[in-house]
Structures are given as structure tokens and as C-alpha cells.
Structure 1
Amino acid sequence: MRPIKTTASLLALGAALTACATTPTGGGSALITPGATVSGALEAGDLVMAEDNSLYDLYRMNGVANRRYAVTMRSDAFDTFLVVGTPSAGGGVDVLVTDDDGAGEGLNSRAEFVAPGGPLEIHANALSEGMSGAYTLSVEDLGEAPPLSPPGSLVPGAETAGELAETDDADANGVRFDAYAVRLSAGQRIEVTMRSDAFDTVVQIGSGTGYGWRGLKADDDGLGEGTNSRLRFTAPTDGVYEIRAQAFSGNGTGAYTLGLTDRGPPPPPPPPTPISVGEAVQGELTADSPVNADDIPYHAYLLSAEAGQRLMLTLGAEDFDTVVYVYRAGEADGEPLALDDDSGAGPLDSRLVWTVPQTGRYEVRAAAFSEGGQGAYDLAVTQMGPPPAARPLPADRRVSDALQEGDGTGDNGGWSDLWSFEANAGERLRLTASSDAFDTTLLVAGADGEGMGEPIAGNDDEAGGGGSTNSRFTWIVPETGRYVAAVSSFGGQGGGAYEMAIESLPPAPPLRPLDVPGAVNGVLQEGDATADDDSLYDGYRVRLEAGERVVISMSSGDFDTFLMVLRGEGDALEALASDDDGAGEGTDSRLNFTAPASGDYEIRANALTAGETGAYTLRVDPRPADPEPGSIIIGSTVRGVLEEGDGLADDATHFDAYRFRARAGDRLRISMVSAEFDAFLLLLGVDAEGRPGELLVSDDDSYGDTNARIDYDIPADGLYEVRANAYARDTGGAYVLTLERRPENEPAASAPAGE
């Protein structure tokens, strides 16, 4: 499921779209008009989303200001995703609305919005990388949107009391808000605080007014008080800005206060502290540290370096997420020459390998990743040796060598050997590196002169039979040419003798057709296809329709079975599901699988480990429909029993479903208690066609070790489904389920799914 988009994540998505649209890959654009339906196809050569490498087609239309439109995208071939926005000055798109499955039809999307007037961009997108195929796109004119109320006024130093109500204006995504106008000067720094005891607050600031408003920055809980917000903002230009007070859930109501403070000009930062190549320093970011225009704290260091020097800058901290930047001295207000966020040894650490472009002075910044990051840090600037030069692999593509003094230095700061080789498009290669002296890391990259370009594939410790110090991966060559294999030690630590080999693997045999329902008796034997871990498998092709539910089972008395379901071809082949012993019988496997899109799927009847062979039986059967859900009303308790024949989730656990009607703002508590199994609760929406929809919230043990409880504030009038589920497969028994209203003064204890 694609993560739920909050206001803040939509702003981030807009930035990502702006970045990707400036350098699109392939494709073009087409015009579409309201009332029209067009047919298209996502295929190789189309535009590519920078954030997830998914394909999209670009459509343009002219929107009439203050008119509401609906864009619907349907496909039987893939899961659709829509983005609608306006062209930005930077060459990208400012997002108005996104949608994954708003059409309520599983894989289809529907986005409703109000046009600000002028040109619009519609991105007909696949939900994820590797998806392609035919689709239809239609645009409807839904008529004039209701006028928005004029914004109130807010001045620095003032605090305003307000109330979100069901009658308030709603934005293009249907989120209610109160608007306040404030006039700011370029460079003016303000702080907006929003507090409420009635709902979880979100405060935003943007430019423009009405339906033409564009969010610039948002905050959910910057005050660190759970439900209250603090937004710090520096105005980029003179003008009137609009502050919007909202609820995190989108439809929360109740009283709030909104305060605005002029923070004044920032104090001048201290001059950078000198640092030399080969020096390590310690520092601490505090509330008094200088901040950049985004209020992110940093410390600046002045570094003198010579052209061609190859340096490693490492920044480590335990209390905050680090970022290390390099600027030309005196130009730190512009774009950095280089930066790194998380390539360091720890999850919060940074490591930047940088070659000095010309002799001079540079500013190095030790910074936090986000506003409010504070704590002690270590910063070091290290002179690195020259990068390794690639040597040609012998004809048999096998080599015995050693990482040792005199080798070139890799980007991880340790010794590295590069080996160049020629390969043809479509070749299936297995690359291995093994050593008893050090923990190996193996990468393959395109050749860049005598060195290596950007890594294409790699591995640290997947080689079977050699323990965790050996590396192995299987790679399909994308195009004919020269490539480089790089052998180094994990983390740049250690060296010694190693062996490296590249083997050509035979192409996998063609997939054998299998019907639903269907069964086959097979034998794993030498000559069958091999997986990346050297285990054998037979591949079967099954045609499934979108939403089709099947049970796949594999049994053998000769070896431990392993099942996989995959989709796609070549580098786009994606594993969707796998199982080792879901049949609960030691060596047998069972998968419950629901097809996300119509098309062909690959089922691999696999051995769990390398070297295992023997006879097996593989079955694919339709999964029976779940029983019709029961009903429950708010304020009631039901007693039930989980048993064979109940609903079956994708993880093979059983559940009973109950539906109830609720109104926006209902503050609910759902409890599930059992002395016979570990309870698990889920709450879902129900779409207009009566089908279970989006997962809203779930819980395992908030009501004790084996009991579950959900607190949830209903966002909109409608039908909802609660599932009384077992946490583990093959468990069940008696339970008690209670649906009741939560006391008015008690906040929700559960977080929505996806947070």
C-alpha cells in the first residue's frame, strides 16, 4: 500500500516532482480537455518519476479558475497513481492533489480538485517501478466550486482563538481549514504556533489565496507536545502569505489558538573555525547554534585544499541525523558543491568522498538533517589515496589476489581492487568474492576511463557456504559493453587474500504454463534454473486477474520447499510474496496471494537451500470468498469464535469481520479480548460499492500482552469494517469484541496506519 499522504508529505512530493520534471527521461505530453477520455499505455521510453522510477505520461489542460474537476485513471494491467498540479517557475510541478485508489475500484484512481485557473499538468502514473501497460484517462467538469471565505488577519505578536467546524472551507483535498493573511518582508523570520485540546493540529503557510493557494511549509508537532504545532518560516519575497490552521486527520473539529511571533533577524553566525586535512574535531549543536534559512542548526569550518586532493569527510552523532556539506568559501547561501546524509558507519552518520575541483578555501558544514537536531558530533577530514585503476580480468574471469598496502583507495576509505571485463546484453552472470581474511564487499559498475562509474549492483554477505564474510549476487547485463567489478572490505576495514570470479549462467528455462485451479508433479534436479543462492527451482506461469485470490501450496518428502511469486521480466522482475513453511508441516509451503493487477505471474517451486533435489507437488487453487461480514453497533459487545471457515487474510491468519455506521467526529474505542489466542484488530473503510477499502489503523497488544485495542476518531460519515483477527496463523478460539464511544476528555491512543 502506498503510504498515506499527509500535508507535509505532499509538499515533499511537490519538491520531488519539481526536481524530476526538470530532467525528464523520454516521453512527451498531450492535451486533454474536460469531458474527454483518452487511451494510452505506459511503456519503455516514457517519462520516469525521480522519486521511485515509476513510469508516467504527461497530459496538459487549461483549468477554469474555481471550477471543480475530476480526473479518473483506469487500467487492467497495473495499479494506477495520479498526480495533478500546476507548472512551477522552476520547470517542475506544484502538486494540487494525488490519488492511488480513489475510484474505489482497487487499482484505479480518481482525483478531484479545484483549479486555480490556467495551465494544469496531469501525470498518469504507475504506482511503482516496473509496472506498465494500457490505461484510460478521463476528465470531468463537476461545476463551479463554492466560494471560499476571505482569510482573517494575523499580525506578529498576536494570538487568535478559533474553532474548526464542519461548516468551514475545505481545500482541494477536502481538508477543512481556517485561513489567516499576514504581510511579510523578504527575509522576515516568523514562528507560528497552534494549540488545541480537541484535535491534533497542523499549521501551514503558503502563497496565493483561495483555490490558488500553494503550500510552502507545514508542521504537525514541532512543539513536541503531541498534538500541538510550531512552524518556523523565512519569507522568500515581500508579499502577503496565507496561514492555514487544520487538523491532522483532515476533519477534526474544535477550539484552537494560533499565535504569530516575529523572530527578528538571525544573529550573525560566528566566522568558520579553521580545520585542516587530517584533523578531527568534536563539537555540539545546541539551541544557540547558527541556523540556515530552513532553521536547521549547523557549525561551519574553513578548509584549505588543493586541486585534485581526494578527501573523505565523516560526520558522526548519536543524538541527531547528520548531514555534511561543502561550499566554496563565502558562497554558503547557494547550492553546495557536495553533500552526504547517511553513507556513514552508523544510521545517523554521514560520509562524503570528494575530489577538490581547484585550489582554494572551502566551507564545510556539520549540520543536522532537520530542524531541532541537537547533540554532540565528531567531524574528520581525511586525505585519501588515489582511486584504484582497473586491471583486466583473465579470460576465465577468475582471479586470486589480495587487498594490501599499495592498492588504490575506495570510497569507503579502505583498499580496493578493480577488475574490468566485457559482457553482452542479456548475459546472466554470477559474481562472487570470498576471503578468510576480511569481510568482502563486491560491486559491479560501468567503466569510467581507468576507474569505475556509478555502481549498478552489489552484495556484502549473501554467498552461501562461505559464511557472512563472502559476497555473491546474480546480475543480468543491461547492455553490451565494458564493466568493472570492485572488491573491497566491508566498511573499509582490513585486507588480505581473496578470490573473485564471474560465471556465466545459462538462461533460465522457459516458464511452464499452469492453470487455476491446477496441480503438477515435478522434480528438482541438476540442470534446473538456479536462484541467486544457488538453490534449484522450476518456474511456472499463471494468468491472474486483478484482485483474484489464490492459494499456492508446495509439498515434498525429499527436501525443504520454498515458494515465491514474482512479476515482470529481466531487471524489472519483482518478488511479490514468498513462504517457507506456511503449510505448518515442517518442509511444506503455502501462500495466500491476491493479484495486484491483471497479467502473468511467475511461481517458483524452489528448494530452501542449495544442493537440495527431489520430487514435489505444486498446487494453485482459488481461494474461497470470505464469509459475509456481520454487523455491530456502537455501544455493543459481541462474542465470537475464530475457526476454520472464517475469513482468511493474506498472511493465512483467520478473522471475523463486523461492519458499523459512524459519523464524522465519533470518538471510538474498539477492544478485543481472548484467553485462547493473541488478538489482532484492524479497522478499514468501506467503499461506495461495499468493498473493504483502506486500512485506517491496526493494533496487536495495546490492551495487554495478547489483547488488542484501537482508539480512533472517525474522519467522515460512512460505513466501516472492524476485523477481529488472530496475530498468528493456525490459531483461534473464543473472543469478546466491544465497540464503544471514548470519553470526551480522553485522547486517542492509536496512530493511523502509515504513520
Structure 2
Amino acid sequence: MVSPASNRQRWIGAGAVIAVLACALPAAAFAQTAVKVGDRVSGEITSRSRINYNDGSRSDVYALALKKDDTIALRAEGALCARLVVLEQGAVLGDSGRNQDECEDEAPARLSFRAPADGRYEVAVSGFGPRDFGPYRLQVERTEAYRGGPLRAGAEISDVLAGGGNRYTLEVAELARYVLDMTSTEFDSVLALEGPGVELEDDDGGGGYNARITALLEPGSYTVKARSLEDAATGGFNLAVASRPLPEGVELRNEGALELDGAALTGSLAGGEREYTLRLDARRLVTLDLASEDFDTSLVIAGQGTRLRDYYSGGDMDARIVAVLEPGDYAVRAGSSDSDGMGLYTLQASSAPVPAGTGYGVLRLGKASAATLPPGGKDRYRLSVPRGGSYRIAATSPSLDVMVDVIRDGEVVASDDDSGGDMNALAEVELEAGEYELVVSSWNTEAGRYEITASRGR
């Protein structure tokens, strides 16, 4: 997600910042004030401060002597909407990256960095334009940064982002649900997790511009990658690892045969889909339910010339498929609606005899078919179109808000909800000669009687 300019930083390249300072008056004309770790100094940007001839802004520059691997947190606040830049021998080491729009919330400028070597560093405090003047307070503090070693459940570390991002090893000792949180007030966090059967990434899942990954992890070693959405960004951040044990008595089943006994199995998702097999010995009315508290679900069943997908028919962003299926083998796939969901889910399947009057089979042109739609169900008809032309597919009901889809080779070629008046569906569509599938469903997933007709258009 790209951060809006109105409430998030825009990072500028190192070359641009160097150009900004290079356009200032000669350094000899402005003595630098030395600061040290622990100092809190006050200053003011005025018309006498050194000028940047590129944009007219003014700057105060401080000299800061550091040892290799010293980790420093800078903070500037006050009436001046400040921007902070740190340089080492003329090269930009860090930039607070704020834009002027952020001045409205009066948030202080923050910048954390790690000294790559012993030496003298320059800290520049500036405004954003030729009319940005005012007092400020600059605070220089040492901060503890992570010194290495693997992460484990319960770890909470602070670190400074290096160019290209940081990498950590996560050691997982037991099967559990893990939550990784990366938070920062200095840049837009991005977090990635890679390991056995897992490849996940998140930008804003932790709220605001913070990253969060939730995944069920098997024992083993994983790689955690922390970076910013903007490649040039740097700054301080926190990384926390928490684990949540599986509920008592839960055993995971991420594949295998799916029984039609109504019993719920528990599986885990870490992106992608989990596939199960389902076998029918006779024509049955089958109900599949997929539910999760961790992600929005997607449910697919495919086989014997049928392929059905559902997202929300089970309510509360859970999936349900109710359909009459012919004998044979089917693949049932459990996934998330946005393809990268992660967490636990439950899946259950049951079957019943096909009720009399259930909509199913062949629909002939010009002949109406009446049926009863089961709760959450989707009735399916085969329609043969002898020649191309204009056709009308109408579905009417005295009680249901009916919908109709016209499908060919797995692709929806027409869909309608209320064009037939009241809550009735009418799809008027140009069709080529061939075989089609008509799907009748209810917008509110309720059960009820309906009638469907296919005819030549006028």
C-alpha cells in the first residue's frame, strides 16, 4: 500500500538531500554546534540560518561524535515543523522523511540510526520552505538495538532498519499459532516470513502503517524479513513475536478424505489453498461449510463436470456450498477470498437425499421449470442453445430475491438480480450456439419456491 502524501512520509533520494545541503552557504560562515548523546538543545530557524538555494529552506547543523554501532534516536519538536537529516562525510545516513502535510498533526520529527564507524556525524534540523521559521528542541538519546541471535516466542526487540532491510532467524519449538508484529513511527513497515511451507508478507495488517503476520507454524527455522515500503527509508522499529497454543484437543488435518458425516475438521492456512477429496456413491444434495475467525473464506468443489465456488453464503464472511452432485470423485479446496489468508479454519461436509422438486437437470427453451431452492443453495440447469442470437433467461419467485447466472466453459457470460421487476431476475443476452449452465440462487440465501424460463429474445 502506498502511503498517502497527506499523512505519511515521502522519502527523497540521498542525492537530493546532498544537493539540498550543497546549496547552502559555505560551512565556514556557520559554526557547527557540538552535541553529545543525552543532550537536549534548543534552537530556532530564522532568516539568518544557513540557506538552501534549491528550495529556500533554512537549516541548523550540529556535530555529533559517535563510536561504531552506537544506535541513536533523534527527536525534534516545537513550533517549527522540523525535518531531520544525518550525514556522514557528506553522504546521507538517515532522513526523517516527513512531508509538510504532517505538520498539521504537530507530531515531532523522529529519526533513529546506527553509526557504521567511529567518526563525526552531522545532524541537520531544517524546515520545508522559505517561510518555515520557528523554535525547536532537539533531543539526542542512545537507544538499545538488537545485537543478534535467533528470535523465539515471547521475543520483543528494538532495532534500526538497515539499507535493504533486516533479516532475523525465528526458531519455532512447537506447533502453535504465531503472531509477528512490526511497528514504527518513522516509516511504513513491511514484514515477511519464509520457511518450511510458508511464504508470507504483510504491509498494514497491524493497523495504521504497521505490519502483522499470523500463521500456524510447524517446528523448525524460519527467516523474518523487516523492511520499509519505501526502499530509501531508515529508522527505528520494534518487532514482537507471540505464540498462541492450539485449542485443547485440536488435531490439524490439512489434506485427505472429507467425510460426509457433518463432523468439523480443523485445518490451517498459510496462503494458497488446502485440498481434500470427496467421494459420492449416489446422487446427493451436498452441503459444505468453511468457517474461520482469522480470514475471509473461499470454498471450491470441482469434479464430474462441475466447478462451484463460494465466499460468503455461510454468513459472517464464511463460505457455504449447497448443491446436487452426481456420483464420483470431487476435489474440495479451502482457501481465503484474498488468496493470502492465514490462520485456522473448520470444514465440514454432509449430504441428504435430493428433495423432490429440487431444481436440477436440463432446461428446455420455452418451457418453464418450477423448483424449491434449499437454504444457501444454488440450483443448476443445463441449457442447449441451437443457434446464436438474443435470449431471455428469467427467474421469478413470490418470496425470494432470486439471482441468475449464465455460464459457459466455467466463465460467467451474464448475471442478473432485479431486472425482471420486484425481486425477480431477467438476463437478456446474446448467446452463441453451444452448451450453457444456468445457476439460480437467492440474494439472502433463504429457501423458497421459484420458476425459471429460457426463451428466444425479441
Q: TM-score range by the shorter chain?
A: 0.3 to 0.5
TM-score (norm 1): 0.29
Higher alpha-carbon Rg? 2
Structure with the bigger RCO (C-alpha within 8 Å, sep 6+) is 2
